[in-house]
């Protein structure tokens, strides 16, 4: 076993990754240097598929109670503003930390077994394959409506990739149409909560707290209505789901709905936008899809591998363990570069190419192990339906300006992709 050397100089290289519109050339450098890098005594960075899959699938890794990041004191040294340390944090920041800890206790993404097992089992009883299949006609109808409204000049994100999953997840949750813009604004502000804590500024925390309180108040008023007058929406299903271990608490329902709202529109938005951009940048692949639209599922799967909406995942070591030949002590953080792992040369030749005509390759875009994304079938379906409807448009489309990326770290996605079908 190898006790990996601490290399603080790698922290600068890590900081560079968080600000790039195209991080993939840098990812390739990370994979080429060595399989695991240790920029800090308590931070291990994994960039190869086998290692990342091993971490995600191991019970030695999980989620520890929220604590001060080992990177706070180092981050200013590499040119990025670090949030205030706990001893200088404002009362608002301290309050947000307490609230976040309370919310994480009901968030299946932040839990370990057996708490995670119980919560995921109950949510799975509400979000069933049958409920997803029942949405397909509505997804087709909404997509057809949105594509039909596209003019000769349009933004694929604002006009389709964002409103489609927003409407789908809102209908799934039973959120009235008039409330959706407000709820989506809260979700976009809360999406920063998925980023590592050491990258969230005090200003972000204030916006997140306001959005969090507003969303919790909104769902807190909706849940009693669904309890007394259940509908065919997911909130009603979550309210009434039960098994031998009991039911979901109101707080668990709110946190689950918040998670589904963020994941249900941000990641699908990123997948649709990334798929369209990849096709426009690879005309031969677009022509192949135009010739055979039945390849659309393979196209979506390749887009997930090629440019995943989730770029990195973080776990804590719950006990001393090893990944490959590397010793990882208890109490350390493991940061997995999903975008790098998906393009690992070990998975096949030419990993930097976007090519859905070759056999499908493994990826970690929906995670791996016990935290594999519950909404993966819905996200895949929405993207495939969107691309089928878009094919006649994309055959004539071209970009009118360079794509603009959102300034997020974990959630990668386009802010804007303006296209024209005019000559």
* Per-residue confidence (pLDDT) for residue 423, from 0 to 100: 65
> Is the pLDDT assigned to residue 412 strictly greater than 50?
yes
Percent of the chain predicted with pLDDT > 70: 91
Q: What is the DSSP string of 93-123?
A: HHHHHHHHHHHHTT-GGG--TTHHHHHHHHH
Smallest Cα–Cα separation from 18: which of 336, 312, 268, 416?
A: 312
pLDDT tens digit string along 150-190? 999 999 999 999 999 999 999 999 998 899 889 888 888 88
In whole angstroms, what is the distance from residue 167 CA to residue 180 CA?
8
Give the number of other Cβ atoms within 10 Å of residue 263's Cβ. Answer: 24
* Strand-strand pairing, 36-40 and 43-46: antiparallel
- Among 89-93, 119-123, 138-142, the least confident range: 89-93
Q: What is the mean pLDDT of residues 373-401?
A: 95
* Per-residue confidence (pLDDT) for residue 78, from 0 to 100: 46
Q: What counts of helices (H) and strands (E) characterise the chain?
A: 17, 14
> Is the pLDDT assigned to residue 95 strictly greater than 70?
no
CA 257 to chain centroid, in Å, comes to 15
- In the three-class reduction of DSSP (H, G, I as helix; E, B as strand; rest coil), residue 413 is classed as coil
pLDDT band at 208 (very low <50, low <70, confident <90, very high): confident
Q: What would the 3-class secondary structure string for 147-207 be?
A: HHCCCCEEEHHHHHHCHHHHHHHHHHHCCCHHHHHHHHHHHHHHHHHHCCHHHCCHHHHHH
C-alpha torsion sign, points 326, 63, 203, 86: negative
**Sequence-distant contacts of 70-76: CB under 8 A, at least 24 apart:** 70/40, 70/41, 70/42, 70/43, 70/333, 71/11, 71/40, 71/43, 71/196, 71/198, 72/198, 74/8, 74/11, 74/40, 75/11, 75/15, 75/198
* Per-residue confidence (pLDDT) for residue 383, from 0 to 100: 97
- Find out whether 150 and 160 touch, Cβ atoms under 8 Å: yes
pLDDT tens digit string along 20-59? 788 999 999 889 887 899 999 999 999 999 999 999 999 9
- Name the DSSP letter for residue 41: T
* Per-residue confidence (pLDDT) for residue 79, from 0 to 100: 46
- In the three-class reduction of DSSP (H, G, I as helix; E, B as strand; rest coil), residue 221 is classed as helix
């Amino acid at each position: 076993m190898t006790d990996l050397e601490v290399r603080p100089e790698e922290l600068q290289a890590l900081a560079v990754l968080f600000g790039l519109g195209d991080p993939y050339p840098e990812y390739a450098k990370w994979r080429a240097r060595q399989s695991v890098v240790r920029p800090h005594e308590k931070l291990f960075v994994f960039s190869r598929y086998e290692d990342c899959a091993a971490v995600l699938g191991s019970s030695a890794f999980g989620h520890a109670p929220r604590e001060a990041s080992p990177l706070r004191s180092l981050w200013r040294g590499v040119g990025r503003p670090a949030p205030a340390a706990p001893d200088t944090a404002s009362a608002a920041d301290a309050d947000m930390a307490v609230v976040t800890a309370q919310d994480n206790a009901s968030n299946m993404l932040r839990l370990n077994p057996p708490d995670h097992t119980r919560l995921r089992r109950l949510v799975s009883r509400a979000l069933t394959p049958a409920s997803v299949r029942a949405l397909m006609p509505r997804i087709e109808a909404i997509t057809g409506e949105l594509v039909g409204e596209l003019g000769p000049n349009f933004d694929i994100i604002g006009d389709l990739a964002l409103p489609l999953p927003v409407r789908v997840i809102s209908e799934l949750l039973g959120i009235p149409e008039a409330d959706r813009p407000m709820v989506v604004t809260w979700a976009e502000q809360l999406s920063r909560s998925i980023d590592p804590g050491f990258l969230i500024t005090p200003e972000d925390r204030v916006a997140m707290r306001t959005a969090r309180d507003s969303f919790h108040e909104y769902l807190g008023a909706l849940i009693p209505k669904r309890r007394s007058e259940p509908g065919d929406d997911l909130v009603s299903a979550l309210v009434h789901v039960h098994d031998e271990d009991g039911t979901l608490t109101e707080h668990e329902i709110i946190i689950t709905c918040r998670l589904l709202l963020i994941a249900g529109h941000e990641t699908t938005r990123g997948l649709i936008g990334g798929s369209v951009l990849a096709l426009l940048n690879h005309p031969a692949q677009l022509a192949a899809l135009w010739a055979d639209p039945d390849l659309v599922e393979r196209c979506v799967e390749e887009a997930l591998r090629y440019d995943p909406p989730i770029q990195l995942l973080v776990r804590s070591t719950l006990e001393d363990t090893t990944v490959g030949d590397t010793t990882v002590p208890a109490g350390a953080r493991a940061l997995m570069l999903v975008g790098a792992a998906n393009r690992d040369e070990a998975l096949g030749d030419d990993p930097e190419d976007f090519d859905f005509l070759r056999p499908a390759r493994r990826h970690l875009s929906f995670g791996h192990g016990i935290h594999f994304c519950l909404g993966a079938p819905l996200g895949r379906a929405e993207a495939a339906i969107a691309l089928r409807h878009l094919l006649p448009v994309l055959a004539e489309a071209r970009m009118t300006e360079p794509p603009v990326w959102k300034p997020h770290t974990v959630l990668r996605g386009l802010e804007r992709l303006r296209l024209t079908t005019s000559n």
